[in-house]
Amino acid sequence: MSKPVLVVGAGPVGLIMAAELARYRVPVRLVDKAPGRTDQSRALAVWARTLELLEVAGCADAFVATGLHAKAVGIHSDGKVLARVTFATITSPFNYLLMIPQSETERLLEAHLRDLGGTVERGIELTDFVDKGDGVSCTLTHAGGKSETMEAAWLIGCDGAHSFVRRRLGLAFEGDTLPTGFIIADVHVAGLAIKPDELAIFWHPEGAVVFFPISPDRYRIIADIGSAPLHAPTLQEVQAIVDRRGPGGITLSNPVWLSDFGVNERTVRNYRAGRVFLAGDAAHIHSPAGGQGMNMGMQDAFNLAWKLALVERHEASPTLLDSYSIERSAVARQILSDSGRMTRIVLLRSRLARLLRGFIVRGIFSIPMIRRAAANRLSGVRIEYPDSPLNTGSARGLRGPRPGQRFTTACTMSTSNLPRFTLVARDDEQARAMIARHSSLLKPELCQPAGNGIWLVRPDGYVMARAHDGNWPVIETALAGMAAHTSLSGRT
Ligand SMILES: Cc1cc2nc3c(=O)[nH]c(=O)nc-3n(C[C@H](O)[C@H](O)[C@H](O)COP(=O)(O)OP(=O)(O)OC[C@H]3O[C@@H](n4cnc5c(N)ncnc54)[C@H](O)[C@@H]3O)c2cc1C
């Protein structure tokens, strides 16, 4: 039997990583040093692209049924609505923002992992590892003090912002810490005259206060506190901030969670060192503005899992794994820059800057196209891999997604327990012959194209190759590129 993959850290990223590997029948162990799941609500927002990927993984229904479907976000200032962006224009079957506490996300992911035959081994800490070239020798320290040596095929560090794996590899976590702190409160809110399924941002000369709905009368409140020392606030402090910066008439009660946080914007350059990978907060952290952190981390896991599965199943060359860091680090850089810009806009203090901000925001968000673009960008459906080394063909003049872009239809989003590409092509002899020739890589069923072309769609729903109808060599080249060297290199 082949050595298992070791996933370290059972936060949302490690859980979905282990579940995806288990779905693809790759032996996997998932360990976490903590004795139990987090009971903190932390990340609330699950965006459309993540839900699409959870759908393919086979567990989106439970999320959709559990979370609150937020329909819009409004920016308010001086008693007026400066901008209102609705999520209905998101080009996805999940055209809303799912609000679900991270503790619930982790509970649902753990149940999904269990359904796939996996489990979380808690109270086990990774305390050392050595990459031996043909595997990784890992030292695991159990809660009682027992030490275990585990030989893993690959090690994936999903061990959060203070990642031991990243530090042991000596990888620099490059970036900055913002000079502003924030307070966070999950509380019962009465008197907020905003629809219960809308996010509301209130700008005030002193700072911002943001309301995120969690359930009909419960909200997450976040407010910036400038350079004041970080401290968990009392309910009275949060109430005072809301009274000053909010619309008035609001009463807070029943706090479930009162906390504080600082904002770091940091990332590693390379998410891979030999047989060791980083994913999630271990590889990138940034401002929570835009609610992207957990989404980005879970999408790292989806990106890596199918590639690792193909390599472990000897169905693709290990060089396929090089695309993981190239693709995902580019996305992280983009999101770090977006969320950093959003945070700095919220933190503007001078009167002139605030006046200009109000003027510009009101102006640009009065344009429907800008509102649509903003909603789609936040939702993750615009994420693409234009510079992926996997992209093949381009077929100028052809309508439909290009290589590196997302291709989602009910057909391409169907769940498979094998890491398989989808062929989108007219049902003819050549298409059938292609599937027969590459049965270890392609799903047996074809998807019908809307236009006059052929698409090869990756297991994570991004186009790998596109060609004009009949130009089969493009698809052949892309598939041959997957398998290149497998017979020679085997497991390297
Ligand atoms: C206060 C707060 C509010 C936030 N709000 C949002 C939000 O609104 N939206 C959003 O998208 N994100 C938000 N985030 C960020 C979000 O929580 C993270 O992006 C997300 O948790 C990252 O998941 P992860 O699995 O990468 O890491 P984590 O959730 O940090 O999980 C890492 C796991 O690794 C384990 N571990 C660490 N070292 C070891 C080791 N050596 N051996 C074994 N196990 C180990 C830890 O015990 C932990 O369980 C927030 C974070 C905080 C703190």
Over range 163-169, report the average pLDDT. Answer: 98
- Does any ligand 1 atom lie closer than 6 A to the CB of residue 120? no
- For atom 14 of ligand 1, which residue has the closest CA? 43
Give tens-digit pLDDT for 331-349. 999 888 887 788 788 777 7
Question: Taking each helix axis from N to C terminus, what angle separates 48-57 and 12-23, rounded to the nearest 10 degrees?
Answer: 30
Distance 11 CA to ligand 1 centre (A): 6
SS3 category, 455 = strand
- Does any ligand 1 atom lie closer than 6 A to the CB of residue 280? yes
Distance 281 CA to ligand 1 centre (A): 6
Of residues 280 and 482, more confidently modeled: 280
Give tens-digit pLDDT for 99-134. 999 999 999 999 999 999 999 999 999 999 999 999
Distance 292 CA to ligand 1 centre (A): 12
Position 282: which residue type?
A: A
Q: Is a pLDDT exceeding 70 seen at residue 357?
A: yes
Domain ranges of the chain: 1-43+102-173+268-335, 175-265, 384-492
* pLDDT number for residue 179: 81
Structure confidence at residue 437 as a pLDDT band (50, 70, 90): very high
Structure confidence at residue 1 as a pLDDT band (50, 70, 90): low
CA angle 417, 418, 420 (to 5 degrees): 125
- Does any ligand 1 atom lie closer than 6 A to the CB of residue 299? no
Over range 177-182, report the average pLDDT. Answer: 86
Give the residue, out of 7, 29, 31, 32, with the most ligand 1 atoms within 8 A of its beta carbon, to mutate for a pocket test. 32
Domain spanning 175-265 has what CATH number?
A: 3.30.70.2450
Number of CB atoms found within 10 A of residue 173's CB: 18
Locate tokens 């060359």: which residue? 317
Structure confidence at residue 486 as a pLDDT band (50, 70, 90): very low
Distance 1 CA to ligand 1 centre (A): 32
Nearest-atom index, ligand 1, CA of 102: 17
Question: Taking each helix axis from N to C terminus, what angle separates 293-312 and 322-346, rounded to the nearest 10 degrees?
Answer: 180
Cα separation, 111 vs 454, whole angstroms: 38
SS3 category, 255 = strand
- For atom 6 of ligand 1, which residue has the closest CA? 43
Give tens-digit pLDDT for 237-247. 999 999 999 99
* pLDDT number for residue 490: 35
- Does any ligand 1 atom lie closer than 6 A to the CB of residue 10? yes
- Does any ligand 1 atom lie closer than 6 A to the CB of residue 8? yes
Q: Which CATH superfamily is domain 1-43+102-173+268-335 in?
A: FAD/NAD(P)-binding domain (3.50.50.60)
Q: Is a pLDDT exceeding 90 seen at residue 447?
A: yes
CATH architecture, domain defined by 384-492: 3-Layer(aba) Sandwich (3.40)
Over range 472-492, report the average pLDDT. Answer: 69
Distance 357 CA to ligand 1 centre (A): 32
The answer to whether the beta carbons of residues 71 and 111 sit under 8 Å apart is no
DSSP letters of 287-345? Answer: -STTS-HHHHHHHHHHHHHHHHHHHHTTSS-GGGGHHHHHHHHHHHHHHHHHHHHHHHH
Distance 32 CA to ligand 1 centre (A): 12
SS3 category, 273 = strand
- Does any ligand 1 atom lie closer than 6 A to the CB of residue 9? yes
